[in-house]
Amino acid sequence: MTGVSTTCPYCGVGCGVIATPDGRGGVQIKGDPDHPANRGRLCVKGAALGETLSTEGRLLSPMIRGQQATWDSALDEVAARFSQTIAAHGPDSVALYVSGQLLTEDYYVANKLMKGFIGSANIDTNSRLCMASSVAGHRRAFGSDTVPGQYEDLELADLVVLVGSNLAWCHPVLHQRLMAAKAVRPALKIVVIDPRRTATCEGADLHLALAPGADAHLFNLLLCQLADQGHLNPDFLHHVTGLDAALASARISTPAATGLPPADLAAFLTLWASTERVVTVYSQGINQSDSGTDKVNAILNCHLATGRIGRPGMGPFSITGQPNAMGGREVGGLANMLACHLDLENPTHRDAVQGFWAAPAMATQPGLKAVDMFRAVEDGRIRALWVLHTNPAVTMPDADRVARAIAACDFVAVSDLWPNTDTARLAHVLLPAAGWGEKNGTVTNSERMISRQRGFAPPPGQARADWWQLAQVAQRMGFAGFDWDSPAQIFDEYARLSGVAGTLGSDFDISGLVGTAYEAFAPVVWPQAAKRGGRFFADGRFHTPDGRARMMPVTASLPAAVTKALPFRLNTGRVRDQWHTMTRTGMAPRLTQHLGEPYLELHPADAAGLGLAPASLAEVSNSHGRCILRVMISDKVQPGHPFAPMHWTGETAPTGRIDALVPGLTDPVSGQPASKSATVAIRPFAAGWYGFALSHRDVTPACDYWAEGRTAGGIQLELAGQVAPEDWPAWASALFDLPSPSAMVSDPAQGVHRMAFTSHGKLVAALFIARTPVLLSRAHLTTALGTTDLSVLAGRPAADRPDPGPTVCACLNVGLNTILRAITGDGLMSVDAIGAALGAGTNCGSCRPELAALLSRHSHREAAE
Ligand SMILES: Nc1nc2c(c(=O)[nH]1)N[C@H]1C(S)=C(S)[C@@H](COP(=O)(O)OP(=O)(O)OC[C@H]3O[C@@H](n4cnc5c(=O)[nH]c(N)nc54)[C@H](O)[C@@H]3O)O[C@H]1N2
Ligand SMILES: Nc1nc2c(c(=O)[nH]1)N[C@H]1C(S)=C(S)[C@@H](COP(=O)(O)OP(=O)(O)OC[C@H]3O[C@@H](n4cnc5c(=O)[nH]c(N)nc54)[C@H](O)[C@@H]3O)O[C@H]1N2
Ligand code: SF4
Ligand SMILES: [Mo]
C-alpha cells in the first residue's frame, strides 16, 4: 500500500505524517516532507506512532453496565437516558464533556446537538483546562478569539520570548524550526521565562527564572518601559483604546515582585523594547492560573502598544496544546461560544445559527464551564453526562472529587478507545471509538492551518467514529439534521455556516472551502485571502464594536501565599516522551525509557530540609488528596517550588495522579483552573522496602506504591511498601500469578531478595527487593525478559556489556552512561559530534537540548578542574 498523508494526533504543531501500512499489521511512519508545518520533521512521539497502534486490549464493542451490547441498544440507551433526564429535569440537567483532540467534524456535531437541539450550552471541553485564558484574553483585546501570527514569524523574528512554554518538550518540531533559524542567524535572540530551568533553556540567550505567577508584573513593567522610553507606536495606537488605564494599572507593579535579578530584568526589558521584530510565545505557564486572562492581556498590551502584531516576525503567539484545540475554538466547542467565532450571547448571531441549523431549541445562555460542570454533576444538577475523548477522572483539578462525582452520577456514557481508563471504568455505557489512523476528519493547528487526518486501517471490532456516535444519538432523540453519511458532508455544512458567520462580520469564514475535494484536501491556513499572508491585525481592524483593539488594565497579582501547613507550591506539566494520560504513548517501550515513573523534582535545599534522599519516595499532600512520588533532586527548580508531571493514572501509578492535589481554583474570566500552583506539604514516605519487578504480562500489585511502564517484552514495575511481607516468594508468586520462583538470591539480614520466574527456561518475571531504593540498571534488566539469561539476579551487567544507563535518545536507544562515556572518554565537544559517534539526536532531534545540557555540564566541570 502506498503512504497515506495524515496529521499527527499529538500536539498543536500539527505535523504532517505519512503512514504506510506494511501489510503485516505494522505501519511505517515518516514525516511528510510536503506538510508546511514540519517539512518532514517529526519529534520522538510522532516518530514512535507506529509502536502505539496495537489493538490489543481495545474496547471492541459497546458495553452497557459491564455487558457487551449491540450498537443499537447502546445508542438507544444513551438517547433514552438523555431524553428522559431532559423531560424530567430540563435541558440543563444533561451535559457533554469533550476534547481538543476531537476532530472538527466530531466537535461540530456535538456542539450542534447540544446548543441547537437539546437547547443547553452545557457542553464544555478539556480546552477549558488548556486554552480558555488565551481565548478570553483574545476576545477582550481583539473582540474575537484570533491568533494573529504564523509559525514562520518565529523564524523571521529578531527576538522570540517563550513565556510559560517548554517548547523543546511540548512543541518539539516548532522548537527545532526555531533552533534551525537561530543556527543560520545567531542574531535571533531567544529568552525563556519560566520559574524552572527546562530543556527549552538550552540554546536560549537568557533564562528568567521568575517567581511563580509573576508574569503579569513582568509584562506590566515592560509596558511602563515602553511608554517611558519612547517605544509606543502612535500610528497604531489610533486603532487601540485603553492605553492610559492600562498604564496606570501597570505602574503599580514593582521589579521586586518578579523575583528576578535586576540585571536580568533590565536586560530583558531593554531587549524587548528595542526589538521591533519580537514574537512572544506563551502557553500553560500563563494560561493555567487564577489570573491567566489578565496575564494574557498583559502580554497583548505590550504588542498592541507597539503595533508589533500581525506583521512578519512579530506578534503575540498563544500556542495550542492539543491537535485540534484551535479547531474546537473555531467550531465553538466551549460552553460560552457559538460556532464559527460567533457569540452565544448575541441574539443576531444566535438567530442566524438557529436559522441555518433549523434548530428547535437554541441555548440562550452560556453553559457550565468544566470545573463548575463537574460540581453540578456532584450536586445532582447534571444527571446525565457523556464524556468523549478525554479522561477527566485524571486530568481535572480536584481529580478525586471529580472521579467521585462521576461515579455517583445517575447516568454516564464514555466514548474511548480503551475500556480501563480511570474515567471509562466509571461509565454505565461504554462506546468504542475509532482512533487515529482509523477515522477521517480535519484539525486546525496553532497557526490556523487546517489539515486532514486520514484513516489507513479499519477500526477494530465494532469501533466507530465519534461523529457517527453523536449523530446517531441525536437522531434517536428525534432530531433532524444529523443524517450525514460522511465527515466530508459535515465539513461542507460547517464551511457553509462559516459563510453565514462571515456575513455577520466573523473572521472565521472558510466558505471558500465549500465543495472542496475532501479526499485530496491539502493543508490550508485561514483566512485564505492571500494579501494578508495568513496574518491578522496589521491593518488595525479588530472585531470589537468600535473596530479598535482594547488594551486592558491589569492589576497584577501573585498566587495566594503558601502557609506553614502547606509550605510548598507545586508546579505541574509535561515530560518529553509522554502524552497526557499515556493511553497511547504508554504503549511504546522506547517512550517509557526517558522518564518512566511519576516523580517530584525538588531543589537540593528542600530535599535536605525534608531529609529526602535521591530516588527515595516523598508523600505529597493537602486537603484535596495525596500522592507518593519518586524524589528527583535538581537545582533546575527553585527552593519551595517543586515540579511534578501530570501523566500518571490509576492504571499506571495510582499514587501518581497529580491532579488529586490541584484545587478547583479558577480564573474568574475564563474559568480555567490554576493547575500549576497547588500548595502542598511534603514529607518522606516511610518505605520499609523498595522493589523493582519485570513481568511478561500485565499485573496489578497490592502495595503502597507502584508505577508501571512498558518494556520491549512486557512491563516493568517500581514498587514500595511500608511493611515488608513475611514471605517474599509467596508474595511474588501472588503478584505474578506464577508458581514458585526458579531461582532466588536472598540476604534477609540486609533485606535483599531477588527471584526469577521462568517458563520453558525463559525468564517471564523477576523481582528485586531492597531496604533502600533499588539501584540496578533498568536498561540492562529489561533486556533479560524472554531470554534464558538468569544472570540478572546478580543485578549487574556483564563486563562486556556496559550499562547504558537511562535512555536519553529514545529513537536510537542511547543511554546516559553511553553518552557520558563518549563525552569524557572520546572528548566529544558538540551535539553533532555525539550524533556522528553514537547516532543520538540524529533522528527526530527531540533529545538535542538534553545532549547540549550534558555537554555544557561536562565542559563546566572541565573548566572548574
Ligand atoms: N510531550 C508532550 N507534549 C505536549 C503534551 C504532552 O502531554 N506531552 N501536551 C500538549 C498540550 S495539550 C499542551 S496544552 C501543551 C502544553 O505545553 P507547555 O505549556 O509548554 O507545557 P507545560 O509543561 O504544561 O508548562 C509549561 C511551563 O510552564 C512553566 N510554568 C509554571 N508556572 C509558571 C509561571 O507562573 N510562569 C511562567 N512563565 N511559567 C510557568 C512550567 O515550569 C513549565 O515548564 O503541550 C502539548 N504538547
Ligand atoms: N495538573 C495538571 N493537570 C492538567 C494539565 C497540567 O498541565 N497540569 N494540563 C491540562 C491540559 S492543557 C489538558 S489539554 C488536559 C488533557 O487531559 P485529557 O484530555 O483528559 O487527557 P488524554 O490522555 O489526552 O485523554 C484523551 C482520552 O481520549 C481517548 N481517545 C484517544 N483517541 C480517541 C478517539 O479517537 N476518540 C475517543 N472518543 N477517545 C479517544 C484516550 O484513550 C484518552 O482516554 O489535561 C489538563 N490537566
Ligand atoms: S511536534 Fe511531535 S507531537 Fe507535535 S505534531 Fe509534530 S510530531 Fe506530533
Ligand atoms: Mo492542553
pLDDT tens per residue across span 247-287: 999 999 999 999 999 999 999 999 999 999 999 999 999 99
Query: Would you say residue 539 lies in a domain?
Result: no
The reply to whether 693 and 680 lie within a common domain is: no
The reply to whether 680 and 693 lie within a common domain is: no
- pLDDT-derived band at 853 (thresholds 50, 70, 90) equals confident
The answer to whether 80 and 477 are in contact (CB under 8 A) is: no
pLDDT recorded at residue 863: 38
* Average pLDDT, integer, range 341-370: 96
Question: Which of 297, 319, 341 is where one domain is finished?
Answer: 319
The reply to whether 264 and 307 lie within a common domain is: yes
Question: Which amino acid, one-letter code, is at 207?
Answer: H
| CA atoms of 479 and 496, how far apart (whole Å) | 20
Residue 17 beta carbon below 6 angstroms from any ligand 3 atom: no
Q: Give φ, ψ of 703 to 5 degrees.
A: -160, 170
| CA atoms of 681 and 540, how far apart (whole Å) | 49
What is the DSSP track for 394-446? HHSSSHHHHHHHHHHSSEEEEEES-S-STTGGG-SEEEEBP-TTT--EEEE-T
No. of helices (H) and no. of strands (E), the chain: 28, 34
The reply to whether 366 and 450 lie within a common domain is: yes
Point out the ligand nearest to the CA of residue 445: 3
Query: Would you say residue 763 lies in a domain?
Result: yes
pLDDT recorded at residue 864: 37
Point out the ligand nearest to the CA of residue 371: 2
| CA atoms of 524 and 296, how far apart (whole Å) | 27
pLDDT recorded at residue 18: 98
| CA atoms of 438 and 487, how far apart (whole Å) | 13
Which residue's CA lies nearest to atom 18 of ligand 2? 390
Point out the ligand nearest to the CA of residue 283: 1
pLDDT tens per residue across span 584-635: 999 998 888 888 899 999 999 999 999 999 999 999 999 999 999 999 999 9
Query: Would you say residue 538 lies in a domain?
Result: no
Residue 16 beta carbon below 6 angstroms from any ligand 3 atom: no
| CA atoms of 699 and 691, how far apart (whole Å) | 15
Query: Would you say residue 383 lies in a domain?
Result: yes
Which residue's CA lies nearest to atom 3 of ligand 2? 395
Question: Which amino acid, one-letter code, is at 482?
Answer: F
pLDDT recorded at residue 859: 55
Q: Is the pLDDT of residue 494 over 90?
A: yes
Q: Is the pLDDT of residue 450 over 50?
A: yes
Which residue's CA lies nearest to atom 26 of ligand 2? 390
pLDDT recorded at residue 711: 92
What is the best residue among 217, 283, 287 to mutate for testing ligand 1's pocket, by most ligand atoms within 8 Å of CB? 283
- CA of 253 from ligand 1 middle (Å) equals 25
| CA atoms of 814 and 547, how far apart (whole Å) | 55
- pLDDT-derived band at 804 (thresholds 50, 70, 90) equals confident
Count of domains observed in the chain: 6
CATH number at residue 815: 1.10.10.1100
* Average pLDDT, integer, range 484-505: 97
Residue 572 beta carbon below 6 angstroms from any ligand 2 atom: yes
- CA of 452 from ligand 3 middle (Å) equals 15
- pLDDT-derived band at 799 (thresholds 50, 70, 90) equals low
The reply to whether 501 and 515 lie within a common domain is: yes
* Average pLDDT, integer, range 114-124: 97
Question: Which of 526, 547, 582 is where one domain is finished?
Answer: 526
Question: Which amino acid, one-letter code, is at 744?
Answer: M
Query: Would you say residue 200 lies in a domain?
Result: yes
The reply to whether 35 and 86 lie within a common domain is: no
Query: Would you say residue 535 lies in a domain?
Result: no
* Average pLDDT, integer, range 121-140: 97
Q: Give φ, ψ of 334 to 5 degrees.
A: -80, 150
Residue 225 structural domain: 131-319
The reply to whether 358 and 505 lie within a common domain is: yes
CATH number at residue 102: 3.40.50.740
Residue 331 beta carbon below 6 angstroms from any ligand 1 atom: no
The reply to whether 679 and 737 lie within a common domain is: no
Query: Would you say residue 719 lies in a domain?
Result: yes
- Half-sphere exposure for 580 (CA within 13 Å, toward CB): 24
- pLDDT-derived band at 861 (thresholds 50, 70, 90) equals very low
Query: Would you say residue 801 lies in a domain?
Result: no
The answer to whether 690 and 769 are in contact (CB under 8 A) is: yes
pTM score, whole prediction = 0.95
Which residue's CA lies nearest to atom 1 of ligand 1? 576
pLDDT tens per residue across span 29-56: 999 999 999 999 999 999 999 999 999 9
Would you tell me the crossing angle of helices 215-228 and 262-274 to the nearest 10 degrees? 60
The reply to whether 114 and 69 lie within a common domain is: yes
Helix (H) or strand (E) holding 244: helix 243-250
Would you tell me the crossing angle of helices 370-378 and 399-408 to the nearest 10 degrees? 50
| CA atoms of 601 and 238, how far apart (whole Å) | 48
Residue 372 beta carbon below 6 angstroms from any ligand 2 atom: no
CATH number at residue 23: 3.30.200.210
The answer to whether 280 and 305 are in contact (CB under 8 A) is: no
Q: What percent of the chain has pLDDT over 90?
A: 86
The reply to whether 304 and 339 lie within a common domain is: no
pLDDT tens per residue across span 733-776: 999 999 999 999 999 899 999 999 999 999 999 999 999 998 88
What is the best residue among 8, 42, 125, 166 to mutate for testing ligand 1's pocket, by most ligand atoms within 8 Å of CB? 166
| CA atoms of 558 and 241, how far apart (whole Å) | 26
- CA of 428 from ligand 4 middle (Å) equals 27
- CA of 579 from ligand 2 middle (Å) equals 8
DSSP conformational letter for 194: -
pLDDT recorded at residue 776: 82
Which residue's CA lies nearest to atom 4 of ligand 3? 11
Summary mean pLDDT of the chain: 94
Longest dimension (CA), the chain: 81
The reply to whether 354 and 473 lie within a common domain is: yes
Beta-carbon count within 10 A of 681 CB? 17
Asked whether the bond before 527 is cis by omega within 30 degrees of 0, the reply is yes
Selected residue with higher pLDDT from 803 and 723: 723
Which residue's CA lies nearest to atom 40 of ligand 2? 389
The answer to whether 224 and 250 are in contact (CB under 8 A) is: yes
What does R_g of the chain's alpha carbons equal in angstroms? 27
Residue 42 beta carbon below 6 angstroms from any ligand 3 atom: yes
Question: Which amino acid, one-letter code, is at 317?
Answer: F
CATH number at residue 589: 2.40.40.20
pLDDT recorded at residue 821: 86
Residue 463 beta carbon below 6 angstroms from any ligand 2 atom: no
pLDDT tens per residue across span 504-562: 999 999 999 999 999 999 999 998 655 567 899 999 999 999 999 999 999 999 999 99
pLDDT recorded at residue 795: 66
Residue 636 beta carbon below 6 angstroms from any ligand 1 atom: no
pLDDT recorded at residue 862: 41
pLDDT recorded at residue 529: 57
Question: Which of 268, 292, 319 is where one domain is finished?
Answer: 319
The reply to whether 368 and 411 lie within a common domain is: yes
* Beta strands 429-432 and 63-64, pairing class: antiparallel
- CA of 279 from ligand 3 middle (Å) equals 21
Helix %, strand %, coil % for the chain, to 5? Answer: 35, 20, 45
| CA atoms of 658 and 349, how far apart (whole Å) | 40
pLDDT recorded at residue 801: 62
Residue 85 beta carbon below 6 angstroms from any ligand 2 atom: no
pLDDT recorded at residue 593: 81
pLDDT recorded at residue 860: 44
pLDDT recorded at residue 161: 98
